[in-house]
Structure 1
Amino acid sequence: MNIAVDSGNTYAKIGWFDDDKLIRFQARVVWDDLVKEIRSQAPDHIIFSSVSNSISEFKDALGLDIPVLDLSPDTPLPISKNYKTPETLGADRIAAATGAQYLFPDKDLLIIDMGTCITYDYLDHKGSFEGGLISPGVKMRFNALHTFTKRLPQLEPVKVPELIGKSTREAIESGVMNGVLGEVEGIIERYRHISPSLSVVLCGGDTTFFESSLKPAIFVVPELVLIGLNRILRYNVAL
């Protein structure tokens, strides 16, 4: 059994894998519980990806004699990177692209990760990561409207509402949610000019707000990053 860890600024996700099969996952895990969970089911190998904690901190907290692969810019990958600054490329973007390439091989792919930011990444049918876009996420847009104005209220994401808001609250909700929807649909359409046979894969915590509203045919894979991390781990174990 392998474990994939995707650790963010506040919470982590854990995936338990039997070879390539995701047999269990847990989201919104705090650091102390992350360590306890892994200790309770000691795996054969671990892959660790984090934006907030170092690999040494993780190993020290874990206290187990288990091989841990740290996903870094130098980690060998089953995909290639055609990116000007690979050292600045987010591990979550690479993991999501790797997961998408495993699930949908030999296809041109647009991977959309709807998290704190919305990232759009293009992976061609040869498995080359070509780059993409980074856009403000849903909550970031709500926060910005409240923070940079004197009177607009702080609101939270909702299912995509009617286009015409009849109150200030409704207008803000429509502006953010329909604005994101229009952005996503527009960018998908522009990428289809690059590749008419493009397959679109969605992941990330805010996907649930939009998946039923998106008009282009899409695939929704909530645990895409964990699947990609496991593929990277298995690729490195096999080397």
Structure 2
Amino acid sequence: MNIVIDSGNTYSKAGWFENEKLIRYTTGLSFDQLIETIRLELPEQILFSSVSYTEKEFSEALQLPVRVHSLSSETPLPILKQYETPETLGADRIAACAGANFLFPGQDLLVIDMGTCVTYDLIDKDAAFQGGLISPGVKMRFKAMHSFTKRLPLIDPEKEPFLIGKSTKTSMLSGVMNGMLAEIEGIIERYRHKYPELRVVICGGDITFFESSLKPPIFAVPELVLIGLNRILTYNVALQ
């Protein structure tokens, strides 16, 4: 069994895999909770991807005889990188694209990850990561309106708001949620104009707000980053 870990600034997510099959996953873990969770079931291999902790810090905290791999800009990948600044490329972006390419090989793919920021990344049919764009996420947009004005409240996103807001709150909801939907649909359309056979794969915590409103075919794969991390892990194990 393999464990892959996506560790963010505040919380971590871990996935358990038997070969290429995701058995289970857990999220919202603090670093200490992550260590305790892994100790309950000794894996064969671990891939650790983190923006907050080093591989050394993780291994020293774990104190188990397990091979720990880490994801960095130097890690061999099952996909190509055609990106001008690969050292700045976020691990979640490359992992999501590796996961999409594993699930849908030989296809032009637009991978949309809806987290704190929304990333749109193209991986072509030759498994080459071409790059993409980064846009503010839903909660960031609400927070920006609240932070940069004196009277607009901080509100939470809601599914399918009315197009015409009848109050300040509902107007903000319409602006952010309908604006985000229009952005997603517009960018997909522009990419499909260039890549007619494009397949769209969407993941991230905020997909629940939009997946029912997006025009098919859109493939929602909530744990795409974990699937990609495991694909990177098995690729590196095979190289040994």
Indicate whether the TM-score tops 0.5: yes
Separation in structure 2 between the aligned mates of residue 51 and residue 186 of structure 1, nearest angstrom:
31
**Counterpart position of 2:198:** 198
**Counterpart position of 1:146:** 146
**Counterpart position of 2:171:** 171
Deviation of 1:224 (Å): 0.2
Is the CA contact (8 Å cut-off) linking 1:100 and 1:228 kept in structure 2? yes
What do the CA deviations read for 1:189-237 (whole angstroms, capped 9, x no partner)?
0000110100000000000000001124100000000000000000000
Q: 1:5-20 to 2 correspondence within 5 Å?
A: 5-20=5-20
SS of 1:189's equivalent in the other structure is helix
Is the CA contact (8 Å cut-off) linking 1:114 and 1:205 kept in structure 2? yes
Separation in structure 2 between the aligned mates of residue 148 and residue 109 of structure 1, nearest angstrom:
36
Separation in structure 1 between the aligned mates of residue 216 and residue 118 of structure 2, nearest angstrom:
18
Separation in structure 2 between the aligned mates of residue 69 and residue 178 of structure 1, nearest angstrom:
41
Deviation of 1:147 (Å): 0.2
State the percentage of identical aligned residues. Answer: 66
Deviation of 1:51 (Å): 1.1
Separation in structure 2 between the aligned mates of residue 201 and residue 13 of structure 1, nearest angstrom:
20
TM-score using structure 1 length: 0.99
Q: 1:177-216 to 2 correspondence within 5 Å?
A: 177-216=177-216
Q: What letter is aligned with 1:42?
A: L
Q: Which moved more, 1:142-151 or 1:47-56?
A: 47-56
Is the CA contact (8 Å cut-off) linking 1:115 and 1:137 kept in structure 2? yes
Residue 107 of structure 2 corresponds to residue 110 of structure 1: no
**Counterpart position of 1:97:** 97
Q: What letter is aligned with 2:220?
A: V
Is the CA contact (8 Å cut-off) linking 1:161 and 1:173 kept in structure 2? yes
Name the count of aligned residue pairs: 239
Is the CA contact (8 Å cut-off) linking 1:185 and 1:216 kept in structure 2? no
Separation in structure 2 between the aligned mates of residue 27 and residue 133 of structure 1, nearest angstrom:
26
Separation in structure 2 between the aligned mates of residue 157 and residue 63 of structure 1, nearest angstrom:
41
TM-score using structure 2 length: 0.99
Q: What letter is aligned with 1:121?
A: D
How large is the RMSD of aligned CA atoms in angstroms? 0.6
SS of 1:200's equivalent in the other structure is strand
Residue 70 of structure 2 corresponds to residue 70 of structure 1: yes
Task: Note the residue ranges of structure 2 that are not aligned, 5 or more in a row.
Answer: none
Separation in structure 2 between the aligned mates of residue 24 and residue 74 of structure 1, nearest angstrom:
28
SS of 2:99's equivalent in the other structure is helix
**Counterpart position of 1:81:** 81
**Counterpart position of 2:130:** 130
Deviation of 1:158 (Å): 1.0
SS of 1:77's equivalent in the other structure is coil
Deviation of 1:160 (Å): 2.4
Q: What letter is aligned with 1:206?
A: D
What do the CA deviations read for 1:59-104 (whole angstroms, capped 9, x no partner)?
1111112111100000000000000000000000000000000000
Is the CA contact (8 Å cut-off) linking 1:138 and 1:157 kept in structure 2? yes
> Deviation above 3 Å: which 4+ runs of structure 1?
none
Q: What letter is aligned with 2:7?
A: S
SS of 1:16's equivalent in the other structure is strand
